[in-house]
Structure formats: structure tokens, C-alpha cells
Amino acid sequence: MSAETQTCQFEAETARLLDLVIHSLYTEKEIFLRELISNSSDALDRLRFESLTDAALVPAGQEFEIRLETGTSPRTLSVIDTGIGMSREDAIKNLGTIARSGTREAREKLQAAKSAEDAASLIGMFGVGFYSSFMVADRVVVVTRKAGEATATRWESRGDGSYTISDSERDTSGTTVTLYLRDADHDAGIEDFTATWQLTSIVKRHSDFINYPIVMVEAAKEEGGQPERRVLNTMKPIWTRSRSEVTEQEYNEFYKHITHDWQDALVNYAYKAEGLHEYQALVFVPSKASPDLYYSSPDTGIRLYARRVLVIEKCQDLLPTYLRFVRGVVDASDLPLNISRQRLQHDLHITQIRKWLTRKVLDSLENLRTNEGTKYAQMWKEFGRAIKEGAGSDFDHKDRITSLLMFESTHDATALTSLKDYVARMPEGQADIYYLTGGSRSAVENSPHLEAIREKGYEVLFMLDPVDEYMLQFMPEFDGKQLKSAAKGALDLDKKDAEGKKEDPAKETEEAAEREHYASLLTGVQERLSEDIKEVRLSHRLVKSPACLVVDDYEMSAYMEKLLSQAKGDVPKRKRVLELNPKHPVVVGLRKRFEANASDPVVDDSATVIFGMALLAEGSEIADPVKFNEAMVRMTQRSLGE
């Protein structure tokens, strides 16, 4: 370690973002104080936790507190804590880099952000915490000493791209952040942050719930007198207060404290379990997904307290992974303080809390779905993909999860629907739930597979997210009704009796006659397309189109095959079934030609063209464009009589 002053550059992205933070991120400049107090509170939490196993870290008589001290010339404000402090390396790592918690991808996005607004919404999610000091100060000095170490470190910066670091001294462990304040400028939101009343009201507004005393120290009124100490916050943990005494703003301040999000949460819920074990929880659903939520190791978790003492800052075992977007705290009355992080997953307390909390959260989400549609839609937009993972992994809560799922549907092009609402709209006679998977609404909306279903007035769900295909494997039914793909199996919507015969005998006879009628054509077409098609049969799902392609019930859909081949490279194409519409003039005409002369070249070309049209109609690519094109040229030529 070197004793001399070392000048270091901020990481490139940090320097650039600092500038944005200072000039555009927050309109409310006073929140810098909330951020500094929040950091101090975390540092005290950490020290308290560490001292459980190493009592020597806290010398006798040392209070756990946060002090605010002001100076007049120059005008300064210091936020001082007796927390865990930082070593020189910690200070370089923590105060020289922004967005430490983000994944590489998220950080790259940040760097690429074009406008201040883009960047603001991204950095908000990482938390800019400490850097917000530069909104109100033109120079910031941090003197910090790590608990258990003898030397202190001094960090100083003007927020202009570089900082200096040197050895220093400090009586106790902890951190002092001193802001050399900019001149007060009411229009720019910079108040006189040395005024006691100002600081008192900011603390009340943003940091009242902090678990440690926030002490305002004022110089003695008369010479030789003692400085005056006043505790500014009530310190009551917010989750122990009844809902009626806490304002939404207070809940949101607390949310920001624990998550470092800069936006309010979308909703919050408080739960209490009484009885053999007592737990309390206060959880929040953020209004936006953090940029790392869908990457490999997102920075999430619930704060776990044992009788008001923080034991784990980000406990990821209290909720299943698919609910990782939920933030908040759990306070358990009978949790051992020294609970081991390694054994967490096997700890009986944790298992019980997890079960309880998972059910509570899922029930709250269901409540939100039924009672607050707009908020639910927002929640779904941000976190729906995470919840879908649950459908394939949490079988204990399968029904609860399934009822949370939302899909696009033929019912309303502007709003998503739940399975429950779908079922409620099912007309008399509809037995199954129909869906179609695909890459976009426009790709599936006009698919020929839907013709008969739509004609019946049945609704079809569009599953447009790649994870839907995965999820559907675990969801054969909902509410006793089967989920059926419109592009799989031999779909037949006619009513059947107990033996599977059609209720309408005339229909049964008509179809038997049709099958006989078409038998030789079907074989003829099959022979011509045998390289691409495994079977040709008559369709019950077509109305307007001459043909479509389907797979068997248990087979992978064409869309899934496409996704897989995109992910893994060439997946060998499996042959599908070509269904022909016996009522369509193209198919009727083809049968006549074929019966008149089975080796008529028009039959060959028609088979190629019909197969190609079926691919185009469902939004797929033509298997052999050259062959298709040549057949089209000949067909057009013939129809022009040339």
C-alpha cells in the first residue's frame, strides 16, 4: 500500500455517466442525502452482521449511528457513520466504478445509450447512489476506515473524470462523506443543505424508516457548551407498522433504499404470519425489470432479518427463481442470527418461509390481475417471461401460475387475455382451448389453420413468445379443458357422441363418401410430394384455403422447429401432413384432372404449387423455390392459353 496520493481515472463509462447524473438524472436534488444515508445504513447493517461472529470489530462503547454535521466556511455537509468502512481497494472498486452490479450486456447498453433519458432509465436501475452527491457538491471527500483495520483512506474527487486516493486517519471504523456544497440556487433545486430545518425535513421525507439513529449535530449555542444532538428519524422498521399509518411515499422511499431503484415500485404488499412461527414480509413489484433480470445471475434477492437484525442482504432462497423480480424484506422471529449462507437451502425455517411467501406473492398477483388490470398489464409486460418459467418449474403452484399467464388472442387485438377469461367466453359446445404458436401476431393471425375454428366463433390464443412453446409442454390443460394447437393433429370441431361418431349422421355419411371419392387423388399427390410430406389427407380445419400443413399431436410444431434450427444450426426438417380442403375449387378441379388422366403434367405442377401455397399461407419459406417457381411459370402460361 502506498502512502502517497495516487490520482486515478474513473472507468470510462463512470465518467460519462457521472456527467449525466449531475446534470439530468434527478430533478429532486435533495435525494442525494437519502442515497448517502442509505449507504451508511447498509454499512452499519454489515458491521452488525459481521460482529456477530467477530465481536472485536466493534469496540466497547461504539454506537451504531449516522451523524450529520455541517460547516459554514466553506459550506460543508458531512454524513458520518460508524459502519463497516472501506479499505483502500474497496474505495477504488466501489467509488471508481458505476454500475458494478450490472451484467456486461447491461453495461454495454448503458454505454451505448444515446440520450440522457435512455441513460437515466438504465442507471436508475443500477443505482447511482453515492454519485448523486455531485449534484449538490463540487467536491466530495470520503474518509473511511474498514472495521478491523488500522489505517484509513481518503478519497477525493470533483466529479470531473478523476479522483485522488491517499492514506489518512480516522478514530473509529466507518465512513465520513464530506460534501463541499455548491451555492444554494432554489431554481436549480439546490437548497441550503447546511440548514438544520432543511436537513430535518429531508430526513423525515426520505429516510425516516432507517433502523439506526440519524443524529443532527449542531454546534453549541454558547461558548464552551456541548454540541447539541438531535435524532431526526423515528427508526421504527416500516414492516412493523400497520398499513394505515404508512403512506405510499414512505413505502416507496423504503423500496428505493433497499433496491437503489430510482422509480417508485408498481405495487407493494405486506404479509404477516402468526402462530407457531412468526414472519412479517413487505414486498414490492418494481415498475420496470432491471436490465440484468433475464441474464444468468441477476442481482436480486430479499432482505432477510431476524427480529429486526439484518442477517442476509440479498437472500435468493426465499422465493423461487421465477419470482426473482420481487424485492422486499422478510423478518422472522425465530431465525438464528448466525444462519449459515451455505446451508440456507436446507434450512427448515427458510423452506417454510419460502413456501409461505411464494403462495402470498402468487395470490397477490392474482388479486392484481382481477382487480387492477392496468397495473397487472404493466407487471406482465416486465415480468411475464419470468413467471412463465414458473409454469415449467414449480409444479406445486401450477394452478396459481397458470391463472397468471396472459396471451394475445383473436378476441381482442389490443389487450392480452388470461386463460380464465378465455374459458369464461367459451361458447356452448366448445370443448377445448385453442392456440397457435408463431413469431408474431401478423404471422399467425391469417394462418389457414384457424379458418374452421374462427368460423365456429371460437377464440384462439396466440403464443408468440419463444418460451411459450417450452411452457406448453407442461400445460396440457387448464380448468379441465385441453389446450390444443390449431396446427396439430386431426382437428375436427363437429360434435361427437360417446363412441366418437358424429352426432349428425348426414355429415358422417358425407365425409365417408368424400374420403372414398378422394382416395386415389390423395395417394397421387402423396407420391408426388413424398420427399416433403409424410401423408396427404382431407381437412376439417379449412374453409377458404385449399391446403395447410400440420403435425401430429405429439410432434414439435413448425415454429418450434424453426426456433431450434435458429439456436442450434441445421435441424433436419421433419415431414409434415398436407391437408387438402375437399370443398375448395382448386382441390375439386385437381381431382377431376387426376381422374381424367393420372399422368397429366398439370397434376404434378398443381401438387408443387399447392404445397408451396400452404407454406406461404402459414408464413413459412418455400422448401424448394426453384421448383415452385418453374411450376408457377408453367401454370400461368397454361392459364393464359399460350
Binding site for ligand ADP (CB under 6 A): 35, 39-40, 43, 81, 83-86, 94-95, 127, 129-131, 175, 260
Task: Select 39 or 409, whichever has its Cβ closest to ligand ADP.
Answer: 39
**Residue with cell string 457538491:** 137
Work out how close the CB of 18 gets to ligand ADP at its nearest, in angstroms, rounded to a whole number. Answer: 11
**Which helix (H) or strand (E) element contains residue 510?**
helix 505-528
Looking up cell 377431376 gives 592
Work out the burial of residue 49: count CB atoms within 10 Å of its CB; fewer than 13 is exposed, 13-18 middle, 19 or more buried: middle
- Any residues with CB less than 8 A from the CB of 239 and at least 6 apart, and which? 270, 280, 281, 282, 329, 331
| Burial of residue 408, with CB atoms counted within 10 A of its CB: 0-12 exposed, 13-18 middle, 19 or more buried | buried
Report how far residue 134's alpha carbon sits from residue 140's, in angstroms, rounded to the nearest whole number.
Answer: 7
Contacts of residue 183, Cβ cutoff 8 Å, sequence gap at least 6: 190
CA gap 557, 580 in Å, rounded: 19
End-to-end CA distance of the chain: 92
SS3 95: helix
Based on CB atoms, which residue is closest to ligand ADP, 35 or 421? 35
CA neighbor of 435 nearest in space, from 478, 384, 377, 378: 478
Nearer to ligand ADP by C-beta: 130 or 180? 130
CB of 326 to ligand ADP, least distance (A): 19
Least distance (Å) between residue 49 CB and ligand ADP: 13
Residue 154 and residue 88: Cα distance in Å, rounded?
8
Chain centroid to CA 522: 49
Q: From the CB of 131, what's the least distance to ligand ADP, in Å? A: 6
Q: Are 362 and 398 in contact (CB under 8 A)?
A: no
Q: From the CB of 152, what's the least distance to ligand ADP, in Å?
A: 12
Q: Of 81 and 191, which CB lies nearer to ligand ADP in the complex structure?
A: 81
Cβ closer to ligand ADP: 174 or 619?
Answer: 174
Q: Which residues contact 115 (CB under 8 A, 6 or more apart)?
A: none
* CB of residue 79 to ligand ADP, shortest distance in Å: 7
Identity of the residue, 258 or 548, whose beta carbon is nearer to ligand ADP in the bound complex: 258
- Cβ proximity to ligand ADP, 131 vs 628, nearer residue: 131
Q: How far is the CB of 246 from ligand ADP (least distance, A)?
A: 24
Residue tagged 448466525 (cell numbers): 338
Q: Shortest Cβ distance from residue 323 to ligand ADP (Å)? A: 22
Which is nearer to ligand ADP, 84 or 319 (by Cβ)? 84
Task: CB nearer to ligand ADP: give 174 or 384.
Answer: 174
Contacts of 179 (CB under 8 A, 6+ apart): 32, 76, 77, 78, 133, 136, 137, 139, 140, 193
Q: How far is the CB of 286 from ligand ADP (least distance, A)?
A: 15
Tell me if 529 sits within 8 A of 607, measured CB to CB: yes
Which lies closer to ligand ADP via its Cβ, residue 176 or residue 545?
Answer: 176
Whole-angstrom distance, CA of residue 513 vs CA of residue 522: 14
166: nearest Cα among 182, 144, 184: 144
Which of residues 85 and 291 has its CB atom nearest to ligand ADP in the complex? 85
Supply the minimum distance, in Å, between the C-beta of residue 129 and ligand ADP.
2
Phi/psi for 234 (5° steps) reads -85, -20
Minimum separation from the CB atom of position 61 to ligand ADP (A): 20
Q: Which residue is nearest to ligand ADP (CB)?
A: 129
Least spacing, CB of residue 288 vs ligand ADP, in Å: 16
Judged by beta carbon, residue 22 or residue 43, the one nearer ligand ADP is 43
Whether 544 and 611 have beta carbons less than 8 Å apart is answered as: no
